[in-house]
């Protein structure tokens, strides 16, 4: 691996626009000793039996559970290659913060703050800063936990080559100043390199974001509505970026402003043919984010939507399926909603009848400014409100599903410039408990919006890139052909408020379930069973 020269925490090494490291196949943190797992130079190969329970209800209403299993084989390419991350909205608070964070980690920077010296880290990244239980030590009987990113060969964020687009032409150093997220002592160490980073001009269709964003729009391509020229320009930008940096692949993410929802109109965006025709005809209902998604699909570049709008109209999802391209979304799950998806899961699974959730937040960054416009707020209100649906639907004891009973739930977002990126989330959870009692949980949560979202941008890129290197097949299936994941990457759900899932499949919002699904899929790729936490070895002896 060619790693950048690591500074000692002082100035970034002068003139050190170092070659980004290439994460070649590295020795694993652990190896699996099993007849079902083979490591060769190219791949990790595993045989995995997927065990579930099939349930059916007999005519007389009896519920019958039948264990079922499917034998799979997984093949993961070990060499990561050189990976690029292209952000739409690169000059925004998230885009600048994640870029600065990766550079600071790449150079091992430290910086002075009022609380003392701080050092770069990847806290808040489930991939880089969380661990998973591998198993139990044969000698001590204690849990052995390993970094999540050691489960399979993954891109290291330090190695990511970063670029992107923005309708604002500020270079990344100036945009970082505008964002007001990071400490001056850190920004000063990165200013030289970030001032050389300039967002590519982007497409700007005013009707899709708040009018108050217009004063930023000084870096835009000609044309104020969809056209194939925009699709082809974005595709060319991706190709040029790959060629310029010698990349093996690029992952693209939307971290631009929240758009209003697009109407789903038969004949306009409901099929591939209609969507492409609508783009060609400049239909006003095709959003910039959908144009980016279409361009990425056609360029076989995974595209992830970090905002709540309905970028992935039916025609776009169909196009991705046709091209075996990958999509993920929607809306980074960073603070208030992340807490909600854990707390609601706990309350309902504890048999406590949650009866109302009041979620209020105010923030003063540009995201909040954009969301102060009703149509853009509505996109966010939807993604922040649906997060409890699966947990409520799973408990027919507390909630009368026949009457569509569920907790009252309100979401309020207010723009208060004074608090900047330091978003305040105030929540009240009210519940019925034993024998007519009540429990009220009130929470005040200062969620540093960009410092919480940036690690998610990293996780989404790293996991999406990993998925491009995993193939599967069912043992004994006639054609024996290796296949890829479904185009809609629901494995990314843990990082997203409104998880996009393959059409017709259930949406899981419960945070613990989302994390287990992702971790256990990665475990299966190295032939390991899901961690059941039964620890029978400590109970039955
Ligand atoms: N915690 C979080 O910060 C968080 C959590 C969930 C979702 N999000 C979403 O992530 C997005 C970015 O958040 P942010 O705080 O960085 O916002 P921001 O307003 O600071 O950044 C958005 C950037 O997108 C640019 N932009 C707008 N339209 C564009 C286009 N068509 N092409 C290219 N660039 C465009 C803007 O100029 C701006 O620089 C928002 O949609 C927000 O709702 C943020
Ligand atoms: O992720 P989360 O903290 O629930 O939700 C956040 C909202 O509360 C906030 O108003 C918005 O600016 C962010 O984009 C993010 O969506």
Could you tell me if 355 and 440 are in contact, meaning their C-beta atoms sit under 8 angstroms apart?
A: no
289-293 mean pLDDT? 98
On the question of pLDDT at 15 being above 90, the answer is: no
Going from the Cα of 125 to the center of ligand 1, the distance in angstroms, rounded, reads: 19
Going from the Cα of 123 to the center of ligand 2, the distance in angstroms, rounded, reads: 19
Residues known to be catalytic: 331, 380, 423, 497
- CA-based nearest residue to 412, from 449, 371, 466, 461: 371
371-376 mean pLDDT? 97
> What are the pLDDT digits (tens) for 387-423?
999 999 999 999 999 999 999 999 999 999 999 999 9
On the question of pLDDT at 201 being above 50, the answer is: yes
> What are the pLDDT digits (tens) for 217-230?
999 999 999 999 99
C-beta 364 within 6 A of ligand 1: no
C-beta 208 within 6 A of ligand 1: no
> What are the pLDDT digits (tens) for 78-137?
999 999 999 999 999 999 999 999 999 999 999 999 999 999 999 999 999 999 999 999
| Residues in contact with 157: Cβ distance below 8 Å, sequence separation at least 6, in sequence order | 102, 105, 122, 125, 128, 458, 461, 462
ipTM above 0.90, yes or no: yes
Q: Which residues of 195-210 are buried (b: 16+ CB within 10 A; e: fewer)?
A: eebbbbbbbbbeebbb
The CA–CA distances, whole Å, from 150 to 132, 248, 492 equal 9, 21, 18
Going from the Cα of 334 to the center of ligand 2, the distance in angstroms, rounded, reads: 7
Pairing of strands 110-113, 63-77: unpaired
> What are the pLDDT digits (tens) for 5-14?
333 344 454 4
Instruction: Please confirm whether the linkage preceding 330 is cis (ω < 30° from 0).
Output: yes
Atom of ligand 1 nearest to the CA of 258: 41
Please report, rounded to a whole number, the percentage of residues in the chain having pLDDT higher than 90: 93
C-beta 367 within 6 A of ligand 1: yes
Average pLDDT, the chain: 94
- CA-based nearest residue to 518, from 458, 455, 463, 461: 463
On the question of pLDDT at 381 being above 50, the answer is: yes
Going from the Cα of 307 to the center of ligand 2, the distance in angstroms, rounded, reads: 10
38-48 mean pLDDT? 97
- CA-based nearest residue to 104, from 181, 182, 190: 190
304-318 mean pLDDT? 98
Reduced to 3 states (helix: H, G, I; strand: E, B; else coil), residue 43 is strand
Atom of ligand 1 nearest to the CA of 421: 15
On the question of pLDDT at 149 being above 50, the answer is: yes
> What are the pLDDT digits (tens) for 437-492?
999 999 999 999 999 999 999 999 999 999 999 999 999 886 889 999 999 999 99
The closest ligand to the CA of 364 turns out to be 2
On the question of pLDDT at 240 being above 60, the answer is: yes
Q: How many CB atoms lie within 10 A of CB 503?
A: 11
Q: What is the pLDDT of residue 16?
A: 42
């Amino acid at each position: 691996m060619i790693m950048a020269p690591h500074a000692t925490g002082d100035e970034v090494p002068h003139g050190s626009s170092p070659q980004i490291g290439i994460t070649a196949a590295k020795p694993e943190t652990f190896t699996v000793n099993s007849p079902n797992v083979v490591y060769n130079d190219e791949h990790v190969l595993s045989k995995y039996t997927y065990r579930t329970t099939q349930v059916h209800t007999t005519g007389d209403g009896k519920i019958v559970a039948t264990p079922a299993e499917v034998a799979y084989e997984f093949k993961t390419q070990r060499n990561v290659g050189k990976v690029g991350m292209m952000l739409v909205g690169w000059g925004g608070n998230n885009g600048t913060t994640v870029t600065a964070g990766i550079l600071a980690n790449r150079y091992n920077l430290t910086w002075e703050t009022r609380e003392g010296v701080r050092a770069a880290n990847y806290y808040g990244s489930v991939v880089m800063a969380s661990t998973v239980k591998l198993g139990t030590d044969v000698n001590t009987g204690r849990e052995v936990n390993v970094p999540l990113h050691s489960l399979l060969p993954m891109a290291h964020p330090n190695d990511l080559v970063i670029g992107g687009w923005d309708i604002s032409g500020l270079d990344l150093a100036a945009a970082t100043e505008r964002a007001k997220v990071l400490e001056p002592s850190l920004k000063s160490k990165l200013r030289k390199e970030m001032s050389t980073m300039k967002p590519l001009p982007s497409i700007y269709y005013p009707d899709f974001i708040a009018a108050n964003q217009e004063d930023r729009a000084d870096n835009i391509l000609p044309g104020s509505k969809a056209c194939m020229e925009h699709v082809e320009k974005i595709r060319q930008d991706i190709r040029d970026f790959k060629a310029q940096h010698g990349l093996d692949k690029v992952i693209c993410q939307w971290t631009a402003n929240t758009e209003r929802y697009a109407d789903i109109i038969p004949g306009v965006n409901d099929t591939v043919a209609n969507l492409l025709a609508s783009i060609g005809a400049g239909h006003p209902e095709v959003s910039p984010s959908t144009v980016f998604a279409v361009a990425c699909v056609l360029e076989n570049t995974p595209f992830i939507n970090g905002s709540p709008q309905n970028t992935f109209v039916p025609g776009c999802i169909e196009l991705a399926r046709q091209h075996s391209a990958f999509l993920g979304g929607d809306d980074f799950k960073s603070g208030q909603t992340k807490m909600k998806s854990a707390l609601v899961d706990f309350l309902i699974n504890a048999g406590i009848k949650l009866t109302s959730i009041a979620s209020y937040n105010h923030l003063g960054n540009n995201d909040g400014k954009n969301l102060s416009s009703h149509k853009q707020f509505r996109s966010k209100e939807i993604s922040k409100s649906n997060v409890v649906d699966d947990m409520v639907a799973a408990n027919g004891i507390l909630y009368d599903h026949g009457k569509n009973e569920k907790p009252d739930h309100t979401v309020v977002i207010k723009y208060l410039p004074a608090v900047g990126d330091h978003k305040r989330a105030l929540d009240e959870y009210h519940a019925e408990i034993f024998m007519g009692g009540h429990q009220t949980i009130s929470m005040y949560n200062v969620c540093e919006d960009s410092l919480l979202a940036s690690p998610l941008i990293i996780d989404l890129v790293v996991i999406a890139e990993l998925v491009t290197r995993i193939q599967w097949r069912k043992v004994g299936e006639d054609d024996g052909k290796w296949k890829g994941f479904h185009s809609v990457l629901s494995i990314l759900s843990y990082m997203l408020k409104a998880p996009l899932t393959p059409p017709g499949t259930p949406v899981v919002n419960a945070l613990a379930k989302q994390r287990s699904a992702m971790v256990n899929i990665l475990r299966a790729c190295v032939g390991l069973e899901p961690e059941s936490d039964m620890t029978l070895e400590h109970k039955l002896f």
